[in-house]
A and B are shown apart, each in its own frame.
Chain A
Amino acid sequence: MNLISKTSPSVGASQARPDALNKVMGHEKFAADYYGPRHLWAGAKRAGIPHGRLISVSTEAAAQVPGVKKILTYTDVKGSNRQGVIQKDQPVLVDDRIRHCGDALALVIAETSQALEAALALISFEYEALPGIFTVAEALKDGAPLIHPAHPGGNCLLSGQLVSGKGLEAFEECDAVVEYAVDLPRQEHAYLETECGEAVYEKGELSIVVSTQTPFRDRAETAQAIGISPEKLRIIAPYCGGGFGGKDGITVQSLLGLAAMACPDIPVKMMWSREESFLSSPKRHAASIHYRLGAKQNGVFHALEVRADFDTGPYDHLGGAVLGLALEHAGGPYRIPHAAIQGRAVYTNNTIGGAFRGFGVPQVAAAMEQAVDLMAEKLSLAPLDIRMKNAVQKGDKIPSGTTLKTSTGIRECLARLKAHPLYQEADAWKKKAPAHMLRGTGMACALHGMGYGPFVPDTAIAKLELTKQGRFRIYFGVVDMGQGNGVTFLQMAGDLLNQNYENLELVLPDTGLTLPCGSASASRSTYTFGNALIQAVETMKIRLTQKAADSLMVGDGDEFCFIPGHLRHLPTGREFPLAQLAALLSQEERITISRYRAPASKETVTKDTALQMHGIPHTVFSYTAHLAHVEIDTLTGGITVCNYAAVTDCGRLINPDLYRQQMQGGIAQGLGYALYEDFITDKGRLLTANLSTYIIPGALDIPPMALSSVDLQENTGPFGMKGVGEICIDPVLPAVANAVADACGGGRCRQWPLTCERMLEILTIPVCPPGADMNRSLI
């Protein structure tokens, strides 16, 4: 506490995070860490089959296990038994159809984890096997079995098309055309804290502590699913041990609620094993994407065709929103006057496709940025120069049709990257490749729109209290899952109120204490809550200074200024302790509440209301340009990323250290997506079921990173900032891909991740000579 308490928060400064103190001591209580003196354990029986009609569940043998208290099935669910962010199509406990291996069939509550495990092993079920659908092609075939028979689109959850200018006709006007197709894998979030929580039902009230990104939405969703009034359900969200989108939606909440209500007056704990987390939680959508890019001889982009299929798995779970964001971002941060962009999110019996940092943009950027490099090569232009030639400025439209009306810093990012030593000295570095190694450098760009789009309200309500002790307490309802929005809010409030950290408190998201603030997702949590907080602080300042003025019988609140712990009356120098001021105020007067709604675009980019509802268009965008240096071992195909640079426009930085934290973490996850993380299933069953077969990068695998921010002011953002949480991961895969192509004379990978095996195959297949039309070697 001494490290930080006397520090004066200052927006723009790299200040240490107060939450780090408890975390380094092992004292911070995550949802995983709630153990009562007495508690029960709850666990779900998972289907283990990808598609079937449930006939019956046998729980008698399991119920005999000593220590088992209750076993629940769908007949015990009083509510709708359906959950989902957009469509409520996912059962809490299966009542008719099993649609993926991770579906929950029964819920066991037991006294010990050993009894729980023993009981789960004894639960069996009868089912009628239904033909499984494991590819988009199978799902869309004529006569394919329907995963949701009532869904109007058949096995297509959502499809959409964005056409601008002359669409496909414009290809006839192009001097050069390149094509690129890619298959992108699922990606597992692999947060260190698995899905977990603890619930207790006492005196008709249900309270759930849970590792989640969305406490308020969870309350509404779980309440209707399990049959309790939302006012009787309290969701508490401690610091979350990693989210990245995987906890953007119901995980343990409904199951825990059911368990607690079945065994009242004693806490019930649920913690998914790593294997259960792999099996049951959503993943980044696997996607098959095909691009055609056309340009004029001088390098100006002219036409774009995109066809993208996303495997959304068995349930909606934000799949439509992922598709929407992908379509909107498909053309990257470039002017392309004619475009035909279409895509589909398709149901299968594979793992659930859901939210994961980037949310569809990594997939389209993976293809777009490689198409750009192919065009650069075709026209003999440097990759950075062709990007600069086509990069958008404020007022331009991106190819999907959205007009950029807010800060647009991609050109600044490219210019800064061009000047960077890693770019300037790339050739010299490449020439020094050791024996058996090939070296290459490659770049990629991206843009990323914040928030929820034009219709879904992106709001937050900040509550600020002057406590009786004279400290300022910030109630924030948008979860801190490591991105540090907690300390950001302290910095903002502390800066405006001129208070030291010791005089500031945070109340973490809790539906019983804080107010609704939307999800910790979509790169919007700091932007939206920050703006609400600034409003609440301003109201508080006026109220307090006026009260001080009244109390001293001087004219004006303006005569006062805030100093740590006090108000000072400037004409007289008299200092008013805040605790003393607090004593003069009623509780209502000590609290200010302010709601902020993020700007929603009024532009009509598409008339398709489904696409509009799923987020098109966005309003505020962040930008980034990345450069990767790679070394390929020609004997094993092993790829080492030796160095990495990224320049980002995410507005002004509230805390440069936090910005670097986001960038470094996002780039590392992007490198995992590109090189390491092969999520393998076979007919819906997981072959990579845990962390020993699904490889996330370790400390020896991640390069040093040179990071730079162009610090443009975003006028709508609190202190000029905008989101950085997702832009950091978006272009990493294609930066690596372009570097690899540079290293090995144009070899490109079709099936990602680029494992050593796939790299070696690329190296041993002859590449088309430069200048040849169409496809490069694609594996």
Chain B
Amino acid sequence: MKLSFTLNHKALTLETDPDRRVIDLLREDLCLTGTKEACGEGECGACTIRVNKELRLACLMIAAQIEGCFIETIEGLAGPDQALHPVQEAFVQAGAVQCGFCTPGMVMAVTDLLETIPNPDDTRIRKALSGNLCRCTGYQKIMDAARLAAKKENKCLP
């Protein structure tokens, strides 16, 4: 089938099987390997992307479902010249990245959180991360990164 959608702010049209998993479309066909597969059944969140401004799991979506959608992957967060998004900066500064495999999904989850709740408390942060598993960090520094990112993004507010 022919698919037209927006990917990281660029309009895209391509031909693919309608039942092709979105994660395979992204990683294999579009060479966007930032979105990771770690379980294939929705348990780990490593494949988290945003569809129409909502967090979803690319391993549990098929190509037919993204027709006309606004898709954001980790590769679309940074600005031109690789200027890091404040959440990405916060992850680096807070030491929230170890092996890095869960990182894209975590960054997407925190970015999504701060767009809806600019000043989340710890409980709210943990809930936002509750769909993303990490085996390296114990989540502590990812929490730190979320708090730091919230501070960065709120810097201009009174």
Contact B41 A192 (CB under 8 A): no
Query: A246 → chain B, closest Cβ, in Å?
Result: 10
Pick the interface stretch among A223-231, A347-355, A418-426, A698-706. Answer: A698-706
Given A26-B104, A700-B130, A191:B99 Cβ within 8 A: yes
Q: Which residues of B contact A33 (CB under 8 A)?
A: 27, 33
Contact A691 B41 (CB under 8 A): yes
Contact A192 B102 (CB under 8 A): yes
Considering the complex, give the chain B residue whose CB is closest to the CB of A664. Answer: B138
Binary per-residue interface labels of chain B (7-50) against chain A in the complex, 1 for a CB within 8 Å, 0 otherwise = 00000000000000000100110011111111111011010000
Interface residue? B57 (CB, 8 A): no
Given A20-B92, A274-B38, A692-B41, A665:B136 Cβ within 8 A: yes
Binary per-residue interface labels of chain A (257-299) against chain B in the complex, 1 for a CB within 8 Å, 0 otherwise = 0000000000000010110000000000000000000000000
Interface residue? A776 (CB, 8 A): no
Q: Which residues of A contact B142 (CB under 8 A)?
A: 699
Q: Which residues of B contact A273 (CB under 8 A)?
A: 40
Complex-state Cα separation, A194 to B39, whole angstroms:
9
Interface centre among A4, A28, A113 (most CB of B within 10 A): A28
Total A residues in contact with B, Cβ cutoff 8 Å: 59
Given A192-B133, A691-B133, A692-B41, A17:B139 Cβ within 8 A: no
Contact A16 B104 (CB under 8 A): no
Question: Pick the contact of A664 from B38, B100, B125, B137 — CB < 8 Å?
Answer: B137
Contact B138 A483 (CB under 8 A): no
Interface residue? B52 (CB, 8 A): no
Interface residue? B97 (CB, 8 A): yes
Q: Which residues of B contact A484 (CB under 8 A)?
A: 98
Contact B107 A24 (CB under 8 A): yes
Contact B103 A698 (CB under 8 A): no
Considering the complex, give the chain A residue whose CB is closest to the CB of B28. Answer: A35
Complex-state Cα separation, A685 to B143, whole angstroms:
38
Contact B41 A690 (CB under 8 A): yes
Interface residue? B5 (CB, 8 A): no
Q: Which residues of B contact A633 (CB under 8 A)?
A: none
Interface residue? B140 (CB, 8 A): yes
Interface residue? A1 (CB, 8 A): yes
Query: A115 → chain B, closest Cβ, in Å?
Result: 14
Considering the complex, give the chain A residue whose CB is closest to the CB of B140. Answer: A664
Q: Which residues of B contact A193 (CB under 8 A)?
A: 36, 38, 99, 101
- Interface size on B, as a range, is 35 or more
Contact B41 A3 (CB under 8 A): no
Given A25-B78, A25-B82, A242-B101, A702:B139 Cβ within 8 A: yes
Given A274-B39, A274-B40, A690-B41, A25:B34 Cβ within 8 A: yes
Q: Which residues of B contact A482 (CB under 8 A)?
A: 98-100, 136
Interface residue? A532 (CB, 8 A): no
Q: Which residues of A contact B140 (CB under 8 A)?
A: 660, 664, 702, 704-705
Contact A17 B41 (CB under 8 A): no
Contact B135 A242 (CB under 8 A): yes
Considering the complex, give the chain A residue whose CB is closest to the CB of B103. Answer: A23
Considering the complex, give the chain B residue whose CB is closest to the CB of A671. Answer: B138
Q: Which residues of A contact B88 (CB under 8 A)?
A: 24-25
How many interface contacts (CB-CB < 8 Å) are there between A and B?
181
Complex-state Cα separation, A70 to B152, whole angstroms:
55
Contact A241 B101 (CB under 8 A): yes
Contact B98 A483 (CB under 8 A): yes
Question: Pick the contact of B95 from A23, A660, A667, A702 — CB < 8 Å?
Answer: A660
Contact A661 B75 (CB under 8 A): no
Contact B97 A23 (CB under 8 A): yes
Interface residue? A669 (CB, 8 A): yes
Q: Which residues of A contact B101 (CB under 8 A)?
A: 30, 32, 191-193, 241-242
Query: B85 → chain A, closest Cβ, in Å?
Result: 8
Binary per-residue interface labels of chain A (19-63) against chain B in the complex, 1 for a CB within 8 Å, 0 otherwise = 111011111111011010000000000000000000000000000
Contact B35 A691 (CB under 8 A): no
Binary per-residue interface labels of chain A (673-697) against chain B in the complex, 1 for a CB within 8 Å, 0 otherwise = 0000000000000000011100010
Contact B103 A24 (CB under 8 A): yes
Contact A698 B133 (CB under 8 A): yes
Query: A326 → chain B, closest Cβ, in Å?
Result: 23
Query: B23 → chain A, closest Cβ, in Å?
Result: 12
Interface residue? A481 (CB, 8 A): yes
Complex-state Cα separation, A190 to B43, whole angstroms:
12
Contact B129 A20 (CB under 8 A): no
Considering the complex, give the chain B residue whose CB is closest to the CB of A37. Answer: B31
Query: B32 → chain A, closest Cβ, in Å?
Result: 7
Considering the complex, give the chain B residue whose CB is closest to the CB of A4. Answer: B92
* CB-CB contacts below 8 Å: B82-119 with A: 82, 84, 88-89, 91-93, 95-104, 107
Contact A192 B99 (CB under 8 A): yes
Contact A699 B126 (CB under 8 A): yes
Contact B36 A17 (CB under 8 A): no
Given A26-B35, A668-B138, A481:B99 Cβ within 8 A: yes
Complex-state Cα separation, A323 to B153, whole angstroms:
52
Interface residue? B151 (CB, 8 A): no
Contact A241 B138 (CB under 8 A): no
Considering the complex, give the chain B residue whose CB is closest to the CB of A691. Answer: B43
Considering the complex, give the chain A residue whose CB is closest to the CB of B105. Answer: A192
* CB-CB contacts below 8 Å: A4-26 with B: 4, 14, 16-17, 19-21, 23-26
Query: B25 → chain A, closest Cβ, in Å?
Result: 12
Query: A622 → chain B, closest Cβ, in Å?
Result: 18
Contact B95 A26 (CB under 8 A): no
Contact A665 B138 (CB under 8 A): yes
Question: Pick the contact of B92 from A21, A30, A192, A699 — CB < 8 Å?
Answer: A21
Query: B112 → chain A, closest Cβ, in Å?
Result: 14
Question: Pick the contact of B75 from A26, A657, A691, A699 — CB < 8 Å?
Answer: A26
Given A242-B99, A692-B41, A35:B84 Cβ within 8 A: no
Interface residue? A560 (CB, 8 A): no
Complex-state Cα separation, A705 to B139, whole angstroms:
11
Interface residue? A537 (CB, 8 A): no
Query: A589 → chain B, closest Cβ, in Å?
Result: 35
Considering the complex, give the chain A residue whose CB is closest to the CB of B38. Answer: A192
Interface residue? B134 (CB, 8 A): yes
Interface residue? A303 (CB, 8 A): no
Task: Rank and list the top 4 A-B pairs by shortest CB-CB distance, nearest first.
Answer: A26-B34, A482-B99, A668-B138, A23-B100
Between A and B, 8 residue pairs with Cβ closer than 8 Å are A30-B36, A192-B44, A192-B133, A239-B100, A657-B141, A660-B141, A700-B130, A702-B138
Other 14 A-B pairs with CB < 8 A, given A484-B98, A658-B95, A668-B138: A20-B100, A26-B33, A32-B101, A33-B33, A241-B36, A661-B98, A661-B141, A669-B138, A690-B43, A691-B133, A696-B133, A699-B126, A699-B132, A702-B139
